[in-house]
Structures are given as C-alpha cells and as structure tokens.
Structure 1
Amino acid sequence: MNNQKIWFVTGASKGMGLLLTKLLLDKGHKVAATSRSLDSLKKNVGIQNHHFLPIELDITNSDDVKQAIDLTISYFGGLDVAVNNAGFSYIGSLEELTDAEFRTALDVNLFGTVNVIRASMAHFRRHKSGRIINIASAAGYIAGPNIGSYVASKFAIVGLTEALAMESAHLNIKPTVVLPGSFRTNFLGEDSLNYAKDPIDEYQSSNTYKSYAERAGKQPGDPKKLAAELVNLADMENPPVHLILGPDSFKMIMDKRERDLNEFESFKEISLSTDLQ
C-alpha cells in the first residue's frame, strides 16, 4: 500500500475503536491498539500478525501513555495517526454526581485525550507531520440534561482541538475533532453508561438512563461507514478541524447554532453596551 500508515487507537476492544482497528488491519495499515483489558483486546480483534500491536493501557496515567506511544514508535518505526476514541458517560445531574464520579469522567474522556496528544506531539513535532483524530460527539456542541460530565468533557475536546489546530498548523500537524451522532455501537450499553450512585428524585435522571438504554441497538448510524470515514479522514490533504458524522448530528448541531445566533442577536444591545464611554 502506498498510503500505509502507522496508527495508535485508544479504546479498541469494543465499539467504534474495535471496528476501526479491524478495518485498518484489513487494509494493511499498522495499528497499535489499546484497552484496559489486554485479553479482551486480543480476543475481540482476533488477528495476530506483525501489523498489530495490542497494548494494555490506562489512558488516565500520563507516564503509561508516553510509554505506549514510545513502544509504538519503537515497534513500528514511527507514528502517523493518533486516534482518541476511548470514553464513557455517567448519567446523572450535576448535583447528583459525586466529586469522584465527575472527576473520573473528565479523567477518561478529557485528560486521557490530552495525555495521548502530548505524547504524540513530541514525535509529530520532530517530523513536522502527523494526524490527530479526537472522537467527541454531537454532545460536544449540544448539551443535554443529566449528562453534564460527558457534555463538559466533549465540549472541552472541541475547544482543545481548535486550539491545537492553531498551535500546530506551522508544523504540518493536522488535528480533527469528530462529532458523531447516534451510531449502532455498544456505547449505550451498561459498560459505557454509568448511573450516578446517589440519585435525587427531583431530577428524574433515572428516566434519562432508561431512555438511553432503550435506544441501545436501535441507533440509526452505520458504524462501519463511520470507521471508513475515519480512514478517509487520515488521507485528506486538507482535513477539516471539525467533522460532523451522521444526519442526526448534523441537524442537531445546525439547529443549536441557529438558536444560539438568535439568542445572541436578541441581547446584542446589552452585549455592545459595556465598553468605556
């Protein structure tokens, strides 16, 4: 393959990460894939060859992430694309979530992503080349009730990707934040959704949990098409900083932007009234 690349993919033992890993290996790419469970990763990928490097990794540990990136570069002789895919969600209002729960959500979804970016950038910067793909969500633009910790982490990933794109443009490093809608993976399963341990009746967050659980296996998006677009993204000469995937995500984000613009315009007089006279 003329376009063979070396990939680093987090959260690869299930869902989108697993589909992406299998697709990449099928296309002849080299893949370092990570998971908290090495046994599950090896079993679910089901491929054993020199193009596949399975790594057991806690992405919240910055030292371990650096070692995993270094191992990838040493094993394959380089790194071209880093994909931040690992993530999960708590269901619970901001008041319901404990400090530990909220921090865990940010540690995995946000700081895990930051750890991979930092470790990858050291290599990309030296070689003046590299792609970073951060998997966010439509929830990176659109808030929802009882998923505040998830929304906070995904909004942050959108912002940090924008900042990274500005910081790294002169280094020929091209980051993209992907904003998927509802795809038929296991993300709405019990191992990806976690319910706040101390619910408060007034918030009715249990209804949100039930609603999400009932949608599992009924999502409209084709995850194989999503994985294929991530591979295509890495081949784009000029990739977008933001890539919305899914008609549902596109509509929700466009509608949200319109509502925001209308609100901004409604209060424009106040907004413009605060300079020194």
Structure 2
Amino acid sequence: MPEASINFGTGLTSAWSDVATFVPKFVVFLIILIVGWLVAKAIAKILSRILTRVGFDRLVERGGVKTALARSKYDASDILAKIVYYAIMLFVLSTAFGVFGTNPISSYLHAIVAYLPLLFVAIIIVIIAAAIAAGAKTLIQNSLGGLSYARTLGNLAAGFILAIGIIAALDQLHIAQTVVDAVLYAALAALVGIAVVAVGGGGIKTMSQRWEAAAARYDEEKPRIAAAARTTPSVSDQARQYSGDPGSASSTATRPYLERPDDPY
C-alpha cells in the first residue's frame, strides 16, 4: 500500500511537471501565431497596393493571363499578395510548432517553406515569358501586318517563347526533369528525323521546287514588305505604346477593374 501511494504521488508530480512545461510553450505558440498572422496580413495588403500602383496587373494581362482571370474576383496583384500571405503563414506555423521541439508537423512545414522560393521564381518566369511572348506576337504582327502569314508567324513566335518559359519553370521546380528533357530531346530528334527522311528519301527535287516557290513568293511580297516597313511605327514607338506610355493612345483607355473584396485575407 505505501508503494502504491508513492507511485501515485510520483505520477501526479510528473503530470504537473508536464503541464507546467507545456503551458509556457503553448502561450509562446499562440503569441507567435497571432503576431505572425497580423504581420502576414499587413504585408499582403501593402504588397497588393504596391503591385497595383506599379502596373503589375497591366503587365500580367498583356502577357495573356487576362482570360484566365476574367471570371475571378481577384486580379493578378491580389493573387500574388495572397500567395505571399500564405507563404508567410506557413513560415509562421513552422516557427510556432518548432516551440514544441522536433515534431513531424514542424519538419513537414519546414520542407514546404524551403520549396516556396522555387515556386515563386517559377511563377515569375512564366509571367515574364508570357509578357515577352505577347510583346513579340504584337510586334511581329504589326511589323508584318500587310503579309498573309504575319498572324501565323506571330503565333508561332509567341508559342515558342511561352514553351521555353514553361520548360524553364518546370526545371526550376525540379518537376519531372527527366521527362521534360526527354520530351525536348524527342521533339528535336523528330524534327531532325523528318528533315533527313524528307531530303534523303527522294525529296531533294521536291525541296528544290519548294525553295523556288518560296523565292518567287518573296519576290511578289517584297513590295508589300517595303510598304509595310515605311508605314509601320518604329520598334521604339511600338515599345512605348505597348508599355502604356502616357503619350500613346492606348494608355487613355480605361481598364475595367473588378470590384475587390474589402478583406480577402
């Protein structure tokens, strides 16, 4: 009986010690969580306003993302701000759970936080590639507007640039690098194989006829190319117009912004 009493007292002491150790950690956990949430919310709002002021939404829309965001109640700056908000909250959660020492939740959150910079860089790569693709498409179509194949050339150039951007983003994320490289090499090998078979398999005469037809068509289109070059604005003028120069006519058009929610976070 005395031994049972001693064991019972030892158990109570151990339980009270565990509670006394857990409560301060839990209080610190709540403080980190609340302060981190307030900081994340403030940073997200400030970032959204800064991106709106510098014209980030216009840049993204010109990159071809406008169609994807047409039915969304958020614009590009709000979406990027929300991504930053959740990234900060993941860091806050990782720090808060770290108060309790090494645990699976903290390790999992730490791995996600370490991956976020790669995701952010990949998103920026795709946005920049889309903007460059849209600019190249507009520039080519405006410069060769008098030609029948101007639209096709513009679309091909835009698709090629966007494909390179997507491949670079996937490589940045380390997603299926082997598969992406294999597909790229297979496409290049297919193009080379088609060219070899077409030329080597009795297609030399056909290729010669095609080149002669292309040269004849170029001679026919040459006056139109010269006329288009004389009437088309210079590259610098098109770049200023595309970038939304206050002096250009395109910048006077108003952009229909969707109404934002008061507090999306």
Relative to the length of structure 1, the TM-score reads 0.21
- Higher Cα Rg, which structure: 2
In proportion to residue count, which structure has more strand? 1
Relative to the length of structure 2, the TM-score reads 0.22
